[in-house]
Amino acid sequence: MLFSSKKAMSPLIATVLLIAFAVALGAMIMNWSADAVVDNSVDLATACASVKIQNNGNICYADGKLTFNVKNVGKARINAVRIKSSSEIGDLELAVKDSSMINGEALERSIPFIYSGGGIELDFLPLVNYDGDLVECEGFSQTSLATC
Q: What is the pLDDT of residues 35-75, one digit of tens each?
A: 665 555 557 777 788 899 999 888 888 888 999 999 999 99
Task: Verify that 101 and 127 share a domain, yes or no.
Answer: yes
Does any domain span residue 3?
A: no
Mean pLDDT of 122-146: 88
What is the per-residue pLDDT for 35?
61
Task: Verify that 87 and 43 share a domain, yes or no.
Answer: no
Task: Verify that 42 and 62 share a domain, yes or no.
Answer: no
Task: Verify that 137 and 69 share a domain, yes or no.
Answer: yes
Q: How many domains does the chain fold into?
A: 2
What is the per-residue pLDDT for 57?
83
Give the range among 1-5, 8-12, 115-119 with minimum mean pLDDT: 1-5
Task: Verify that 81 and 57 share a domain, yes or no.
Answer: yes
Q: Give the three-class secondary structure for 48.
A: helix
pLDDT confidence bin for 126, thresholds 50/70/90: very high
Does any domain span residue 2?
A: no
Task: Verify that 80 and 141 share a domain, yes or no.
Answer: yes
Cα angle: 51, vertex 93, 96; to 5 degrees: 55
Q: Which helix (H) or strand (E) holds 135?
A: strand 133-136
Task: Verify that 28 and 80 share a domain, yes or no.
Answer: no
Task: Verify that 44 and 57 share a domain, yes or no.
Answer: no
Is 11 exposed, middle or buried, given 0-12, 13-18 or 19+ CB atoms closer than 10 A?
A: exposed
What distance in Å separates the CA atoms of residue 51 and residue 25, rounded to the nearest whole number?
A: 41
CB-hemisphere CA count at 13 Å for 72? 23
Task: Verify that 58 and 122 share a domain, yes or no.
Answer: yes
Does any domain span residue 104?
A: yes
Residue type (1 letter), 9: M
Q: Which domain holds residue 92?
A: 51-147
pTM over 0.75: no
Does any domain span residue 131?
A: yes
What distance in Å separates the CA atoms of residue 91 and residue 86, rounded to the nearest whole number?
A: 5
What distance in Å separates the CA atoms of residue 45 and residue 52, rounded to the nearest whole number?
A: 13
Task: Verify that 69 and 28 share a domain, yes or no.
Answer: no
Which CATH number belongs to the domain containing residue 132 in this structure?
Answer: 2.60.40.2060
Task: Verify that 37 and 93 share a domain, yes or no.
Answer: no
Task: Verify that 68 and 135 share a domain, yes or no.
Answer: yes
